[in-house]
A and B are shown apart, each in its own frame.
Chain A
């Protein structure tokens, strides 16, 4: 994860940041509360020839565009035989396949097989497929299905870890995605209504309110410093994180609340920062230590007074609290979804 390793902060600055974030209540560099998000601007349906699209611009200048394109594809028959309903094969096909969703991420300055875009795409795909609802909607009949291409394009340099930005943009794009209306019978070669207005939303909407009945999941980045939990960390904050966790949540169709569908820990870049060097160990300043003293410094954390890279790890209770903060009623997840609801095409 090359872009995050060269953190342009001195050990003193890191130490200062860490200390202030570890306070109770934490003091964030931009004065936000722990659960507060940075302001963002969003719009949907910006690409006229895509099936759905969205664009989000964060206040720090990071910006992403997502286009969703749907293509009709023939469902490959397994084993070359058409099996009867007895096998439960039909039901299986109704459920759809993971391969029908194709997420690709492009980040300036990285190759498409670099670890970062691949890892991000996997994380987003995992969240989208977790509850199986989306791929079920891609089924047209026994013979045909939609294949969904989600093309995510980060326009700016990845200043902070871009996962929340990409996830939210993808969320909006999928919400605005529409599939052509089918006019042929289920298993015939598909023929579609030529009227774009007649097309249906991938995430069906209530006819009266035009509100989506279900929504795609969102993935939020949560970090901890000490026992504090911070949402939407900026790049500076990430540099001192003890642990970073990506939590994907989606609306629970049963009680209308949120449920967690995926969770990943992210390797915090803070682990790669260099620790502060005491004056007596600094050779340029005329100091110099014996091997024994150096070992002692490193092992015994003698330099902790300035800055020491966190060792990582997060306790069970903190993790539990993080998830709870995201999915609980009136929690951050709902707040974010509520905020995104205001985005009209």
Chain B
């Protein structure tokens, strides 16, 4: 009987090239899988060094049959340690701890990225993996991915009892030694003298020791970087090595409780004894976090550092609910990290003696508890919880500034390494401890840092510097800072994207010959009197409108949207980039486009007087603005005029204008008012958010003044027809693709969201806010007025907006039809269709609509539910980030506009704490905290806080919620940081 077994040689010999590896995989369901992989080991994987002549022929041929040139330079840079030049072979932990070093422009070239390492990086951290992949694509850096696990000579099998990490370390060493001898041979063949050293870079002492034993050249990260020029700066980019941390471990006391094991957490979560959710920190109180868990309506509260146990805002954590006697009311006090921990010394390594919670923090919390116990109805104690483990860290790069007090004064000039605190811009992120040699240089600058670790023995997370963005408060630095904070992709479009643009560039025109393929399936609507109405100075014109009276007394109304999908074909580089960016981001002085300029502001933009491709929605509306029928078609239009809102308004109001275009606009105006009335009757919400406009000096674009935005009837005209178009398209797309239509929904907010606001209104103003349906809410919002104060209604609307859920994109197959509802617009179904130049969702909707009307076949990516879901998830995040970035930008400019001025303005009390209150100033759309301490000149003022009555009395004065008061606005440079802040105070 011949054996059925496949004869794998137990060890690799030159004659065999077949091997297998076996490992076990525990699946999420708890099942365990035995995985057997066959491996064909090859000898034709090139080393890709320009020194080597034997590997040249092995290089794989590209698409055009042309071979890629070898990546690694023949004359790599030398250092003091390796004067003959060197290739780097980093192991996994080197990439994990010092990715920023590898990304630095001037360091780390000629790097061999082993497949083993690449895979390990991928398993450990996906973001780092993507950054590494980006590096390997960067030609100037000369990173080469060597598939060592497929090359016969460098493949290692796991030995009995060997952990996978040890096996991988061994694979790295084996690859190093192979490269070493391979290069020796290559150099000998060339008869050149210089043979670059192959340097294994590692942070693992054991691996380094073994490498030395094997006679390899190996170096620790710190040692290696120290030998480079400009070592100080580069050293900061390396996270504190494991060695340094290890030495500390022994003496340091553990200040935080240990995390549970992963399997224990998962079991607990499944069994319902533990809860999982995203940790978010209160912006007012850095010691209080909340986590929404599926099991409860209200979020769980996590108070204090010990309970939040090293979780950073955004992490996905596992919680254990605390016993009832430890339940507390949510904090009614403002606690800012700067105030309580101002004088801490970052250098102090024995800080643990103090415990995690400093005396001050403890006192602050203690008062909280007292208050919670004394209360009954409103401030009812709520379940609290503690973090027992972290499922996934969502650490990113943080922008911040160095805490001046943490820098030793004598060290400001010196180059000595010291530990400083970095205060992130985002108040919810704790201070980050950073070791640096350039503390002096970094003071007063915006810097980018990343968190590396947060060990049990350290009160604060430990991180490292990446780079400096520039001086605080300079426009460049601040803009870049907020783009980074909100993860906005702001780099110029890569060449591969620009290659997708039409070759004609700005000379592109709608073909004159209607037999041209571009005209196929398009309707010629050039004779329609179309115009566009946009904000002043708008260059990316998405939409244009027309209306005309039909002989039967009905109206023909058309909404024409830029035909972006004609230029951006699915799945090319431009489409991918756009889907990644998701949306155009508008900052006060800057626009970060989703699509390249050529398309956004020229070829797609429905500019006046030129012919453009469009996607048109045409309705026949009767006198009541009810839809008689709707058609969708690709078209060619010629816009007659581009109005600004004001100009359009003037033109409509000017009775001397009687031309057809103006008549059409008047029809539109009349119809839009009817549409609006109908929508409002159906329960659409009229919400408000503070919006201001910055007036800038045209030359320097320095802000001059701040104005609240004015709303004209023409704004609403455009809005109404866009809504109508979106709703019509949503219906059409859904009927054509019930499973995969990309729609937008706005979930009804849970009742509990409005409880607080309703109660506040009841107590303070004796008004009733009903939230059972959007109609009830809209109606009761209308009644929330204060005759003495017209702004009060807007204030309530602003507060109500904050209680809402945010609208989101989704794929129709993932929700039941009743869930499609758009709560705010009171529409059963909704999508985004009208702004394809600046939103990716609209572009996808265009493609679906084009397929729905049989204009072109639907791309496969739009037929897959899972792919669409991923797209939705991304654009939802991008959308929110873009809004936040825009808001942050406005905030910054408002601050700049107010610089050096002292103003007295009306303000409204929005929120009351036991030691201060938040005032909203409508004129500038800013809200600021007034603390009692500041009123008392730095000392806490005796005060009485009545949580049930929402009032705070101190001295003579009593401040109540919703009270209108005069505040003085001035800006103040913070002493510690030199950072400018707007400061409000009572007049």
Interface residues of A (CB under 8 A from B): 41, 43, 45-46, 48-51, 55, 57, 63, 65, 71-72, 74, 144, 180, 184-185, 187-199
Name which of B30-38, B72-80, B376-384, B714-722 contacts chain A: B30-38
- Assess the A72–B5 pair: CB atoms within 8 A: no
Contact of B5 among A46, A49, A190, A192 (CB under 8 A): A46
Contacts of B262 in A (CB 8 A): 191
Main secondary structure of the interface of B (DSSP, over half): mixed
Question: A46-B5, A49-B35 known; A188 and B267 CB under 8 Å?
Answer: yes
Question: A188-B267, A189-B270, A192-B26 known; A46 and B160 CB under 8 Å?
Answer: no
Contacts of B34 in A (CB 8 A): 49-51, 180, 196
- Assess the B261–A184 pair: CB atoms within 8 A: yes
Name which of B16-24, B39-47, B791-799, B931-939 contacts chain A: B16-24
Tell me whether B3 is interfacial, beta carbon within 8 Å. Answer: yes
18 A-B pairs in the complex with CB atoms less than 8 angstroms apart: A43-B3, A46-B3, A48-B6, A50-B34, A65-B4, A71-B31, A184-B263, A185-B263, A188-B263, A189-B270, A190-B32, A191-B263, A192-B32, A193-B24, A194-B23, A196-B22, A196-B23, A197-B158
Q: How far is the CB of B171 from chain A (nearest CB, A)?
A: 15
Residue of B nearest to A74 (CB): B30
Contacts of A65 in B (CB 8 A): 4
Question: A48-B6, A189-B263, A191-B263 known; A72 and B31 CB under 8 Å?
Answer: yes
Contacts of B134 in A (CB 8 A): none
Of B3, B23, B26, B264, chain A has the most CB atoms within 10 Å of the CB of B26
- The interface bits of chain B over 247-266 (1 if a CB of A lies within 8 angstroms of the residue's CB, else 0) are 00000000000000111101
Tell me whether B164 is interfacial, beta carbon within 8 Å. Answer: yes
- Assess the B30–A190 pair: CB atoms within 8 A: yes
- Assess the A72–B158 pair: CB atoms within 8 A: no
Contacts of B11 in A (CB 8 A): none
What are the 3 closest A-B residue pairs judged by CB atoms, nearest first?
A184-B263, A41-B1, A48-B36
- Assess the A187–B4 pair: CB atoms within 8 A: no
Contact of B32 among A57, A63, A72 (CB under 8 A): A72
Tell me whether B215 is interfacial, beta carbon within 8 Å. Answer: no
- Known contacts A43-B4, A43-B5, A48-B36; 4 additional CB pairs below 8 A are A46-B4, A72-B32, A188-B264, A193-B24
Contacts of A191 in B (CB 8 A): 26, 262-263
Of B1, B163, B261, B270, chain A has the most CB atoms within 10 Å of the CB of B1
- Assess the B20–A72 pair: CB atoms within 8 A: no
Contacts of B261 in A (CB 8 A): 184-185, 188
Q: How far is the CB of A66 from chain B (nearest CB, A)?
A: 12
Contacts of A45 in B (CB 8 A): 5
- Assess the B20–A48 pair: CB atoms within 8 A: yes
- Assess the A189–B267 pair: CB atoms within 8 A: yes
Query: What is the bound-complex CA distance between A184 and B264, given in angstroms?
Result: 8
Contacts of B373 in A (CB 8 A): none
Contact of B30 among A50, A55, A189 (CB under 8 A): A189
- Assess the A197–B36 pair: CB atoms within 8 A: no
Residue of B nearest to A69 (CB): B34
Query: What is the bound-complex CA distance between A71 and B270, given in angstroms?
Result: 20
Tell me whether B955 is interfacial, beta carbon within 8 Å. Answer: no
Q: How far is the CB of A286 from chain B (nearest CB, A)?
A: 53
Contacts of B26 in A (CB 8 A): 180, 190-192, 194
Query: What is the bound-complex CA distance between A199 and B161, given in angstroms?
Result: 10
Q: How far is the CB of B33 from chain A (nearest CB, A)?
A: 9
Contacts of B31 in A (CB 8 A): 71-72
- Assess the B30–A144 pair: CB atoms within 8 A: yes
Query: What is the bound-complex CA distance between A41 and B31, given in angstroms?
Result: 34
- Assess the B30–A72 pair: CB atoms within 8 A: yes
Of B25, B30, B163, chain A has the most CB atoms within 10 Å of the CB of B30
Query: What is the bound-complex CA distance between A63 and B3, given in angstroms?
Result: 12
Q: How far is the CB of B348 from chain A (nearest CB, A)?
A: 38
Question: A43-B3, A48-B6, A195-B24 known; A187 and B267 CB under 8 Å?
Answer: yes
Residue of A nearest to B23 (CB): A194
Query: What is the bound-complex CA distance between A57 and B3, given in angstroms?
Result: 11
Query: What is the bound-complex CA distance between A90 and B24, given in angstroms?
Result: 29
Question: A184-B264, A189-B270 known; A195 and B158 CB under 8 Å?
Answer: yes
Query: What is the bound-complex CA distance between A197 and B158, given in angstroms?
Result: 9
- Assess the B36–A49 pair: CB atoms within 8 A: yes
Q: How far is the CB of B272 from chain A (nearest CB, A)?
A: 13
Contacts of B267 in A (CB 8 A): 187-189
Contacts of A63 in B (CB 8 A): 1
Contacts of B270 in A (CB 8 A): 189
Of B5, B6, B162, B270, chain A has the most CB atoms within 10 Å of the CB of B5
Question: A49-B35, A72-B30 known; A55 and B24 CB under 8 Å?
Answer: no
Contacts of B5 in A (CB 8 A): 43, 45-46
Q: How far is the CB of B258 from chain A (nearest CB, A)?
A: 15
Contacts of A189 in B (CB 8 A): 30, 263, 266-267, 270
Query: What is the bound-complex CA distance between A49 and B32, given in angstroms?
Result: 12
Of B24, B31, B32, B262, chain A has the most CB atoms within 10 Å of the CB of B32
Contact of A194 among B3, B4, B25 (CB under 8 A): B25
Contacts of B164 in A (CB 8 A): 194-195
Residue of A nearest to B260 (CB): A188
Contacts of A190 in B (CB 8 A): 26, 30, 32, 263
Q: How far is the CB of A264 from chain B (nearest CB, A)?
A: 30
Residue of B nearest to A65 (CB): B4
Q: How far is the CB of B11 from chain A (nearest CB, A)?
A: 15
Q: Which of B158-194 contact A (CB under 8 A)?
A: 158-164
Contacts of B266 in A (CB 8 A): 188-189
Query: What is the bound-complex CA distance between A187 and B267, given in angstroms?
Result: 9
Contacts of A57 in B (CB 8 A): 1
- Assess the B36–A185 pair: CB atoms within 8 A: no
Q: Which of B119-164 contact A (CB under 8 A)?
A: 158-164
Query: What is the bound-complex CA distance between A50 and B263, given in angstroms?
Result: 25
Query: What is the bound-complex CA distance between A199 and B23, given in angstroms?
Result: 10
Query: What is the bound-complex CA distance between A243 and B266, given in angstroms?
Result: 58
Q: How far is the CB of B388 from chain A (nearest CB, A)?
A: 13
Query: What is the bound-complex CA distance between A55 and B4, given in angstroms?
Result: 9
- Assess the B30–A180 pair: CB atoms within 8 A: no
Query: What is the bound-complex CA distance between A74 and B161, given in angstroms?
Result: 29
Query: What is the bound-complex CA distance between A184 and B745, given in angstroms?
Result: 42
- Assess the A48–B24 pair: CB atoms within 8 A: no
Residue of A nearest to B268 (CB): A188
Residue of B nearest to A40 (CB): B1
Query: What is the bound-complex CA distance between A193 and B165, given in angstroms?
Result: 13
Contact of A180 among B24, B159, B161 (CB under 8 A): B24
Q: How far is the CB of A53 from chain B (nearest CB, A)?
A: 10
- Assess the A197–B160 pair: CB atoms within 8 A: yes
Query: What is the bound-complex CA distance between A191 and B158, given in angstroms?
Result: 20
Of B22, B34, B162, chain A has the most CB atoms within 10 Å of the CB of B34
Q: Which of B258-294 contact A (CB under 8 A)?
A: 261-264, 266-267, 270
Q: How far is the CB of A33 from chain B (nearest CB, A)?
A: 24
Question: A43-B5, A48-B36, A180-B32 known; A185 and B264 CB under 8 Å?
Answer: yes
Contacts of A184 in B (CB 8 A): 261, 263-264
Q: How far is the CB of B164 from chain A (nearest CB, A)?
A: 6
Residue of B nearest to A179 (CB): B32
Contacts of A51 in B (CB 8 A): 34
Contacts of B3 in A (CB 8 A): 43, 46
Residue of B nearest to A345 (CB): B5
Residue of B nearest to A190 (CB): B30
Query: What is the bound-complex CA distance between A131 and B264, given in angstroms?
Result: 34
Contacts of B36 in A (CB 8 A): 48-49
Contacts of B23 in A (CB 8 A): 194-196
Query: What is the bound-complex CA distance between A199 and B160, given in angstroms?
Result: 11
Q: How far is the CB of B24 from chain A (nearest CB, A)?
A: 5
- Assess the A197–B161 pair: CB atoms within 8 A: yes
Query: What is the bound-complex CA distance between A276 and B154, given in angstroms?
Result: 75
Q: How far is the CB of B20 from chain A (nearest CB, A)?
A: 7
Query: What is the bound-complex CA distance between A217 and B622, given in angstroms?
Result: 88
Question: A45-B5, A194-B164 known; A199 and B24 CB under 8 Å?
Answer: yes
